Amino acid sequence: MIENIRLAFQGIWSHKMRSFLTMLGIIIGIASIIAIVSTIKGTSEQIKEQLIGAGNNTVTIELYDGDSTYDSEYSFGTTAKPPLLNQEQKDAVLRVDHVTSATFYYSSTNTYNVYYENTSFSGGTMLGIDDQYLSTCGYIVRTGRPFIQRDYEKFRKVVLVDSNAAETIFPGEDPLGKILEIGSDPFTVVGVVVQDENFSPRINSYEDYSQLYNSVNGTIMIPSADWPIANKFDQPQNVIIKADSTDNMSKAGNDVAKLLNEGVDTKSNFRYKANDIMERVRQSQQLSESTNNQLIGIASISLLVGGIGVMNIMLVSVTE
């Protein structure tokens, strides 16, 4: 055995160029496959980061009326009343597997009745948020303070504005302490918030475009306890959850939607649905992988040719 090994190395060494060219085919083939597989993995992660964001892991669960999202501003005259969420359901949501935090919030783009002096805030978004919204959705208080528990308990008329709303409503001014008139009630600005860049919106559908369009003028936030004061009518809440990992977003979102639907009248058209962005990720990844699989096939040909070369040199060496 030792003698055979010695003769094999002697044959390789005595035909350096032939051995090098044979090895080159194998090296190129293996390197090509490694590079392409690494590209597939990297591209998949890049697609995931572009569509979802790096590490935010949030899923929005919205109330649908039939095939479209429920909008209370255009539902007057309908006899069916939308389901309203309560604290018990929120506690149940937090117990769902893979859910690390959750927030129930009100949302409206009907902001034509929001004024600062003679400046209207039409075209923006108004939210009624609970005490978990900022942390779940990645907001940071830039100046001022966030809402505190006494704001909810005492129904204090306070408001937070994001950086876009601050520029829209208070150009060149410090928003803190300013009075916003929402409906016919004065709300005092107590803080300016900014959203972490990982949570910045991505445009992948018309709905995403609509949300981005409304976010250009900015967002104002009031305590959820004050929402009936500002809007004068009952409105259902939507839900945002944060999953413990990106891979568990779909399962956590669908499980929460299923839980919330247990409290919805089965005879109505109302249903909670999770915005399954992971499905978009999978579709984009499949498109990328189909292209890369073709490249793997081409690289495999190089590997096959190199293998044939190795077999050939082995055969020649044995024959000699």
Q: What is the pLDDT of residues 118-131, one digit of tens each?
A: 888 887 889 999 99
pLDDT at position 73 is 63
pLDDT at position 25 is 67
How far apart (Å, rounded) are the C-alpha atoms in residues 118 and 139?
Answer: 29
pLDDT at position 212 is 45
Confidence of residue 149 (pLDDT cuts 50, 70, 90): very high
Residue 247 pLDDT exceeds 70: yes
Among candidate residues 119, 92, 126, the one with its CA nearest the CA of residue 221:
126
Contacts by 293-299, CB closer than 8 A, 24 or more apart: 295/36, 296/33, 296/36, 296/37, 298/32, 299/29, 299/32, 299/33, 299/36
pLDDT at position 117 is 84
Domain ranges of the chain: 2-49+285-319, 56-280
pTM over 0.85: no
pLDDT at position 176 is 94
Residues in the chain: 320
pLDDT at position 209 is 41
CB 212 within 8 A of CB 203: yes
pLDDT at position 43 is 62
pLDDT at position 178 is 93
pLDDT at position 201 is 45
pLDDT at position 282 is 58
Q: How far is CA 239 from CA 19, 195, 207, 273, 288, in A?
A: 65, 18, 17, 10, 32
Mean pLDDT confidence for 128-143? 91
pLDDT at position 208 is 47
pLDDT at position 204 is 45
Q: What is the pLDDT of residues 9-50, one digit of tens each?
A: 776 677 777 677 777 767 777 777 777 777 766 666 655 555
CA atoms within 13 A on the CB side of 23: 8
Residue 102 pLDDT exceeds 60: yes
Q: What is the pLDDT of residues 105-122, one digit of tens each?
A: 998 887 878 888 888 888
Q: Would you state the structure tokens that stand for residue 313, as one six-digit string?
A: 């040199």
Residue located via tokens 């609970």: 130
Among candidate residues 46, 87, 81, 52, the one with its CA nearest the CA of residue 65:
81
What percent of the chain clears pLDDT 70, i.e. is strictly above it? 70
Q: What is the pLDDT of residues 166-223, one digit of tens each?
A: 988 898 889 999 999 988 899 999 999 998 765 554 444 444 444 444 456 789 999 9
- Mean pLDDT, all residues of the chain: 78
Residue 254 pLDDT exceeds 80: yes
